Chain A
């Protein structure tokens, strides 16, 4: 069965020449692998007999069945796996009795370790001592499988029996029941299964942990526009762009991280294809190192072509209502529009839009922004009192927070909010970051706790996020990309000074209100830039910042009247030495009225603290 391999002295000609004098020292060996397993022949059988095809792909499985029953509302897919071991010439190896690892590429399998018996996995029909037909295999469930999928069978760790084997094992590992050797990398893969192609929802929706990381983390994301799953650009920011899949009402949006402002991508453009590694960055799912192909909404060259409707294809029967976000039957117009969209594979799409195409692009308009109430916003920042795996207080039950998670990356609106009035720079050593478990971190925690209207300055400068609160309900939300909003300077008219005790840079601003804030919803886990810990299963962060990234200057509607009055009052206070000193010392908004109001609400521990600007008993 084992063949004596012929010896050739050297590989490449160059190496041969260089090594000519050494060639004699080469020693013949039989094989570098102890027991000759080279590959596995793998046969699998789907429970329902369907392997799927490009024209009729299998449905994306989201769960493993238990005792043959699929959890309600989920999709399961069970298969039975059989395999036998072969040597390098393809001969059956009945002496192989080790453990193998099963995996789905891409995807997950329900049980990954199985052991061979007499070179076989599962029951096979044997002819002349050789396995020929799989009768019954090992039952496993697979899930999170999309696109073209194969099941891998890999030689796994193997128990060592003899001293000779021990000597040949490069990397041994001791366990209670003996010494094991690392695997040989012998592998076999199954026939191909064809599942539905990836969608944004597959990337965003984690059925096990509703607010958890993408179930496809570290897989390659490949999204293609297709009927019923058209993709449209909803925002372009300095580090990438947001897309929304028009075919799903929730979990339908995704951030594409392009490092710098992506050239020639604009809001409303159609995304033909986009691909990249699926990653979590501070709690936000994104594609990294992306490639993309886009059809621009606006065109300059003119040449009318009437696109011929594609033969025999009917639009899909369900459409997402742009206003309500509910799935309903498509209207005639929508179907017509969907059919009129130019095929993405048309490389020469450079004409002025026809009437039908204009309609089609109108269909591609992103859905109307969802309005986020204070109650929903609070799901991200209210603790239920228990302690999470990072030692901090847990926030609200994560199952409820999927109200926000399902909107991650989507365009949302928050109404009537007030912006931060206090700012403090907690970066004591000036290295541009807040060290965890340090005074700096304590400072940030103090600032970010809900009782103050405070934004941490280095956070503001590095990530461009200022905090704000809804006026009704006091729910916290942060505004990002202030730099995109021309003429809006949050520091205008603010008072800044160095705190003599802590030596920290402080700033206090007049209270300003926003009537309406629209933009893409981002969720950020502070201090969780990429460590594995943040994304291990079961990890519950104590705090998630809800950030809204505006698209255009019109996404921020200021309450001009209120702000003008507030700025005036602020100026008055700054000109009043006592009020100024009191405000600097005790925090809160810096006007006489606000100061009194604040002092009533938050009584000072210091008995000498003034209760009013007009009460001049300020200790200096």
Chain B
């Protein structure tokens, strides 16, 4: 095993390098001639979400428009980004690097190291300022403090007021985080006001613990720091983790910012938005300055490169300064006059910064081993979306929720898990542990509890309220239950409450309901009397619901078929074993429910139980016993521990005393569920009515007739081949260490000391962009040697350049063969290397990939999920519209819209 000590040693080197990088020569502001203009370059990153290593993804049209190409997979990677960032900053005269926060959570490296690697990597980048995002708190306040105290960049959160947490010694987070910083960018003083997240900080009050943060009002905070800093800095910027709508709102309502860099929604604004600020002229007339608003995406998919040209304000608005001269003109008071912005895609054709890549490599390998990240759990014949096309049920969400209620010893009536607990799609291709960590990064476990019907209603009401603000896209993924989210009513209720002066907080709803339902005339149609005082209607108690038509799905009720090809028909008698079964309820020949008492058919509303058709596009249509929710009945509910602790505002669950935490991680539940599915091979046989040899139509040698299997083989081969390339990332020393780790129980590491730490590939990458290096190094190694020799790039271990001719003399010098020999010092291992030089190890690896793919597709599960429409919605409609409508007056509008479109919108 690689010991922590060793890792720390490597980081020691890193920290030294990083500190050297940050000690650049600096200028005094007085030396600079501002009148000839200043070009400030700002590197902007944000929402890195622990994606330090490159990853695969299906590009969205928006990515392709910016210039990404699917063929350049895998994307991202902080070592590649470092190459770009260092290059730009080396060119720029005055540059800063700011990050919008949420560097934590989203990849297994965070689950294992709690953010340590992220912070070290950012240190290496020489970043100047960083904003605290909502996910920074995911592993607790103590962890955040622990990690941030290792940071060599300034940590900002102007809108957080820190106070001691109850019962704990206050960790001095407030000593680590500052409201603003003034960066000296080679003589130009750039003030950065940092605004941390508040919209997604529900955990700051609803979770297990208070985080000890009071969030302050945006506009006041920003304007007061602008006023404080405007005479001490040349340029005023704001960097936020607020969200697009909030950023826009702050710009419009403050005066003095030059440019704003935001995050949280994971979107790229290309071009940046240009928002008029709240500036007024000396006469009090609006005289807005146009402020660029930059968002640069997430997951290190892009590096934002902003260039602004600034001139003294008196040159830009000469009329204002008429009659003044000299110092009164304040030549250091700069104003942005024009700008350019490019989001630079981080793709596989960019070389990794060798130093950073090497410093991360031990973590990476250690991680792969501990978590078995490359293990293939199943194969996804199609991309499984985290958001369904209609915005509610996603195939992935349905699959997980179904497994949750069916889990042994949970066996619940219904279940729900928060939609945003699912973080990315499962792409078409092999499903690995690594990918499942990206899909479910949170360590949430499965828990259960009992809820009364009324409590179920409250839960789904709250979900509707919460979803209403997000484009009526359900914030839950459910199983065993069907209902309608009446966002229209929810919106009306909230609007009405805001009208009478409530600051709508869902928790205080009961008082508010009564007030509005008693007072407002005419009484709104959404008010329902829950307790009536006939003598004095003013004492009536009212109730308001946002979730409608709640029903539970029970066992199947298909009629027994004599002809297996016939269509399913309903048979309510199949529901006999259920409590709500009533002999008086039956189906007529059209499948409609009827209620018959004493031979007379009457109103069917007395039937709690029906046998209704469920349309499932993946698994086929069937009939199921459907039971209306009864407020006084008790239902067993399966959920995750995050929600049962009141996360995301589900406080109605927090105080439930029947809670049981199974301790089984949701990720495990999912993996078990996937593994139980049949393989693509088996599914193909079944679909074709058996193998050809057994009289069926399926020919395993020609699986073209079954696309799933063919795709599985193609995709898996591609996956394995890529891994072969990855193997070559490591240097001799690393190969040596890795072999020791697996074979010698970690002893004898000294054998590796002194071995070359740089691969030829890395050397190549350092000088050129990557595709070229890939081509060169992953063909035959001897050929590669010649090519390198011709280019004068072949070096010996002392670093001296050697001629290409030496390739011949040395036979396999520089080949995998020789490296292998170097790595295995003892004689008996030497034998392992024989033959390697003839076919490069890479070639052998690729050859093996086809075989591996064949086997995998026979064995592992073919991951298919159902889509059967569990949640419906009624979106807000336009009624009684009033006055003018500004999209920017509603900060949530854009966020809601983004979510509706299935963007990576935030949290």
Task: Scan residues 87-134 of chain B and give those whose CB is less than 8 A from a CB of chain A.
Answer: 87, 90-93, 128
Task: Scan residues 110-164 of chain A and give those whose CB is less than 8 A from a CB of chain B.
Answer: 150, 152
Task: Scan residues 258-283 of chain B and give those whose CB is less than 8 A from a CB of chain A.
Answer: 267, 269-275
Question: Is B887 engaged at the interface, CB distance under 8 Å to the other chain?
Answer: yes
A266 to B39, alpha carbons, bound, how many Å? 44
- Select one of A258, A277, A428, A432 contacting B707, CB under 8 A: A428
Residues 254-268 of chain A, each 1 if its beta carbon lies under 8 Å from chain B, else 0: 000011111111100
Given the complex, which residues of A lie within 8 Å of B63, measured CB to CB? 530
Given the complex, which residues of A lie within 8 Å of B25, measured CB to CB? 5, 7, 28-32
Contact of B428 with A11 in the complex, beta carbons under 8 Å: no
Given the complex, which residues of A lie within 8 Å of B475, measured CB to CB? none
Residues 168-190 of chain A, each 1 if its beta carbon lies under 8 Å from chain B, else 0: 00110000000000111111110
- Select one of B37, B91, B248, B903 contacting A39, CB under 8 A: B37
Given the complex, which residues of A lie within 8 Å of B270, measured CB to CB? 218, 277
Given the complex, which residues of A lie within 8 Å of B86, measured CB to CB? 170
Q: Measured between C-beta atoms, what is the minimum distance from B108 to chain A in Å?
A: 26
Contact of B337 with A429 in the complex, beta carbons under 8 Å: no
Contact of B184 with A8 in the complex, beta carbons under 8 Å: yes
Residues 557-573 of chain A, each 1 if its beta carbon lies under 8 Å from chain B, else 0: 00000000000000000
A3 to B381, alpha carbons, bound, how many Å? 65
Closest-by-CB residue of A relative to B427 is: A431
Chain A count of residues within 8 A CB distance of the other chain: 94
- Select one of A9, A218, A298 contacting B881, CB under 8 A: A298
With A90-B33, A219-B271, A428-B707 in contact, is A264–B885 under 8 Å at CB?
A: yes
Task: Scan residues 351-400 of chain A and give those whose CB is less than 8 A from a CB of chain B.
Answer: none
Given the complex, which residues of A lie within 8 Å of B900, measured CB to CB? 259-260
A159 to B19, alpha carbons, bound, how many Å? 32
Task: Scan residues 662-686 of chain B and give those whose CB is less than 8 A from a CB of chain A.
Answer: none
Question: Is A291 engaged at the interface, CB distance under 8 Å to the other chain?
Answer: yes
Contact of A300 with B309 in the complex, beta carbons under 8 Å: no
Closest-by-CB residue of B relative to A8 is: B26
A292 to B20, alpha carbons, bound, how many Å? 48
Residues 874-892 of chain B, each 1 if its beta carbon lies under 8 Å from chain A, else 0: 0110101111111110000
Question: Is B566 engaged at the interface, CB distance under 8 Å to the other chain?
Answer: no
Given the complex, which residues of B lie within 8 Å of A314, measured CB to CB? none
Given the complex, which residues of B lie within 8 Å of A88, measured CB to CB? 27, 31-33, 93, 187
Question: Is B521 engaged at the interface, CB distance under 8 Å to the other chain?
Answer: no
A40 to B20, alpha carbons, bound, how many Å? 31
With A10-B22, A11-B183 in contact, is A188–B36 under 8 Å at CB?
A: yes
With A5-B31, A275-B274 in contact, is A294–B886 under 8 Å at CB?
A: yes
Q: Measured between C-beta atoms, what is the minimum distance from A432 to chain B in Å?
A: 7
Contact of A220 with B271 in the complex, beta carbons under 8 Å: yes
Contact of A260 with B881 in the complex, beta carbons under 8 Å: no
A248 to B568, alpha carbons, bound, how many Å? 60
Question: Is A532 engaged at the interface, CB distance under 8 Å to the other chain?
Answer: yes
A265 to B886, alpha carbons, bound, how many Å? 10
Question: Is A25 engaged at the interface, CB distance under 8 Å to the other chain?
Answer: yes
A10 to B273, alpha carbons, bound, how many Å? 34
* Chief secondary structure at chain A's binding surface: loop
A33 to B64, alpha carbons, bound, how many Å? 35
- Select one of A150, A275, A295 contacting B273, CB under 8 A: A275
Question: Is B608 engaged at the interface, CB distance under 8 Å to the other chain?
Answer: no
Question: Is B445 engaged at the interface, CB distance under 8 Å to the other chain?
Answer: no
A6 to B186, alpha carbons, bound, how many Å? 11
Question: Is B61 engaged at the interface, CB distance under 8 Å to the other chain?
Answer: yes
Contact of B248 with A291 in the complex, beta carbons under 8 Å: yes
Contact of B381 with A429 in the complex, beta carbons under 8 Å: yes
Given the complex, which residues of A lie within 8 Å of B707, measured CB to CB? 428-429
Residues 1-22 of chain A, each 1 if its beta carbon lies under 8 Å from chain B, else 0: 0010111111110110011001
Given the complex, which residues of A lie within 8 Å of B181, measured CB to CB? 12
Question: Is B62 engaged at the interface, CB distance under 8 Å to the other chain?
Answer: yes
- Residue among B22, B91, B707, B882 with the highest chain A CB neighbour number at 10 A: B91
Question: Is A289 engaged at the interface, CB distance under 8 Å to the other chain?
Answer: yes
Question: Is A41 engaged at the interface, CB distance under 8 Å to the other chain?
Answer: yes
Contact of B20 with A26 in the complex, beta carbons under 8 Å: yes
Closest-by-CB residue of B relative to A239 is: B901
Contact of A300 with B882 in the complex, beta carbons under 8 Å: yes
A276 to B244, alpha carbons, bound, how many Å? 13
Contact of B337 with A89 in the complex, beta carbons under 8 Å: no
Q: Measured between C-beta atoms, what is the minimum distance from B505 to chain A in Å?
A: 22
Residues 265-292 of chain A, each 1 if its beta carbon lies under 8 Å from chain B, else 0: 1100000100111111100000001111
Question: Is A593 engaged at the interface, CB distance under 8 Å to the other chain?
Answer: no
Question: Is A73 engaged at the interface, CB distance under 8 Å to the other chain?
Answer: no
Given the complex, which residues of B lie within 8 Å of A261, measured CB to CB? 875
Question: Is A301 engaged at the interface, CB distance under 8 Å to the other chain?
Answer: yes
Q: How large is the interface on B (under 10, 10 to 19, 20 to 34, 35 or more residues)?
A: 35 or more
Question: Is B792 engaged at the interface, CB distance under 8 Å to the other chain?
Answer: no
Question: Is B652 engaged at the interface, CB distance under 8 Å to the other chain?
Answer: no
With A185-B307, A277-B271 in contact, is A26–B23 under 8 Å at CB?
A: yes
Given the complex, which residues of A lie within 8 Å of B153, measured CB to CB? 15
Contact of B382 with A293 in the complex, beta carbons under 8 Å: no
Given the complex, which residues of A lie within 8 Å of B23, measured CB to CB? 9-10, 19, 22-23, 25-27
A275 to B61, alpha carbons, bound, how many Å? 21
- Residue among B33, B35, B307 with the highest chain A CB neighbour number at 10 A: B33
Contact of A292 with B886 in the complex, beta carbons under 8 Å: yes
A27 to B24, alpha carbons, bound, how many Å? 8
Contact of A220 with B272 in the complex, beta carbons under 8 Å: yes
Q: Measured between C-beta atoms, what is the minimum distance from B59 to chain A in Å?
A: 9
Question: Is A296 engaged at the interface, CB distance under 8 Å to the other chain?
Answer: yes
Given the complex, which residues of B lie within 8 Å of A347, measured CB to CB? 884
- Residue among B61, B272, B885, B888 with the highest chain A CB neighbour number at 10 A: B885
Given the complex, which residues of A lie within 8 Å of B24, measured CB to CB? 29, 32
Question: Is A53 engaged at the interface, CB distance under 8 Å to the other chain?
Answer: no
Given the complex, which residues of B lie within 8 Å of A537, measured CB to CB? none
Closest-by-CB residue of B relative to A88 is: B32
Closest-by-CB residue of B relative to A430 is: B382
Q: Measured between C-beta atoms, what is the minimum distance from A428 to chain B in Å?
A: 5
Given the complex, which residues of A lie within 8 Å of B708, measured CB to CB? 429
Task: Scan residues 221-279 of chain B and give those whose CB is less than 8 A from a CB of chain A.
Answer: 244, 248, 267, 269-275
Question: Is A512 engaged at the interface, CB distance under 8 Å to the other chain?
Answer: no
- Select one of B26, B91, B428 contacting A185, CB under 8 A: B91
Task: Scan residues 397-429 of chain A and give those whose CB is less than 8 A from a CB of chain B.
Answer: 428-429
Residues 860-899 of chain B, each 1 if its beta carbon lies under 8 Å from chain A, else 0: 0000000000000001101011111111100001101110
Given the complex, which residues of B lie within 8 Å of A300, measured CB to CB? 880-882
Q: List 7 A-B contacts (CB under 8 A).
A: A11-B22, A27-B23, A105-B339, A291-B275, A295-B884, A429-B382, A531-B64
Known: A277-B269, A296-B882. 18 other contacts (CB 8 A): A5-B25, A38-B33, A38-B36, A39-B37, A88-B93, A150-B337, A152-B338, A184-B93, A185-B92, A187-B307, A220-B271, A266-B881, A275-B274, A291-B248, A293-B885, A349-B884, A350-B882, A530-B63
